[in-house]
Amino acid sequence: MTERGIVYLKDVTKVYQQGKVDVRAVDNLTLNISRGNFAALCGPSGSGKTTILNLIGGLDVPTGGDVFLEGNNLASLTRSQVAAIRRDRIGFVFQAYNLIPVMTAYENAEFVLKLQGNSEAECRERVMGILKEVGLEGLENRRPDEMSGGQQQRVAIARAIVTRPAIVLADEPTANVDSVTADALLDLMQGLNRNSGITFLFSTHDQRVMDRAHRLILLRDGKIESDEVRN
């Protein structure tokens, strides 16, 4: 058997009920994501991409099978233990940014660090360093409505990585920005992957993301149709 990676889904099924109909969003799927991957889940709408990210992130639970993160079977943990793993070991980047509108860029990036109980000095050092790294130096006091879509997504990336997570789950992160901004965001995330070793797993329809992925996993009807590893 292949050594388990940072993420390992074993025979995972997820069934949703829509009215009187059962919808099998993920169908007996096994998937191994190695540490340091820059991988993308792709496929048509309804193929299971976002459901898989939600299962890995502990935002949803499988109907059958097991989800492991860094060797921990999420099903064997309490809700508070899963929440702690989600807070400390997983970064999330969403299509709609999901920033807190009344908070500044600094405060949005700092939010999870404060939940972890870090000191003000530690928070400031890490947040200012991350904002500089993602190209937002000097914009730390702007609220989301004072920033462009690309700048808001950079704040979201800063928030996702400031805790030094094991993996970043990025759900259609380039969907709401123009092509120039999308390329810049992908440059940023590739650099973080290459230089800091952060594992990225995307769900995407964007050909630009697919072209840059080191591993491209094509889904259809909740199953893996193809799994291509690139140099």
Q: What percent of the chain has pLDDT over 70?
A: 98
Q: What is the pLDDT of residue 3?
A: 64
Q: What is the pLDDT of residue 96?
A: 85
The mean predicted confidence, pLDDT, of the chain is: 92
Span 134-169, pLDDT tens digits: 889 999 999 999 999 999 999 999 999 999 899 999
Q: What is the pLDDT of residue 1?
A: 40
What are the C-alpha distances in Å from 189 to residues 40, 45, 200, 210? 13, 24, 8, 14
Q: What is the pLDDT of residue 145?
A: 95
**Number of neighbours of residue 5 by Cβ within 10 angstroms:** 20
What single-letter DSSP state applies at residue 177?
Answer: S
Sequence-distant (6+) residues with CB within 8 A of 29 are 9, 11, 12, 13, 48, 52, 65, 222, 223, 224
Q: What's the rounded Cα separation, in Å, for the pair 155 and 89?
A: 18
The amino acid that residue 139 corresponds to is: L
Q: Which CATH architecture has domain 37-54+77-229?
A: 3-Layer(aba) Sandwich (3.40)
Instruction: List the one residue out of 223, 168, 172 whose CA is nearest residue 198.
Output: 168
- Alpha-carbon Rg for the chain, nearest whole angstrom, is 18
Q: Judge whether residue 23 has pLDDT over 70.
A: yes
- Domain range list for the chain: 37-54+77-229
Higher-scoring residue by pLDDT: 144, 19: 144
Q: What percent of the chain has pLDDT over 90?
A: 79
Bridge partners of residue 90, in order along the sequence = 167
What single-letter DSSP state applies at residue 3?
Answer: P
Instruction: List the one residue out of 161, 149, 150 whose CA is nearest residue 192.
Output: 161
Whether the Cβ atoms of residue 163 and residue 91 lie closer than 8 Å to each other: yes
**Number of neighbours of residue 209 by Cβ within 10 angstroms:** 25
pTM of the model: 0.91
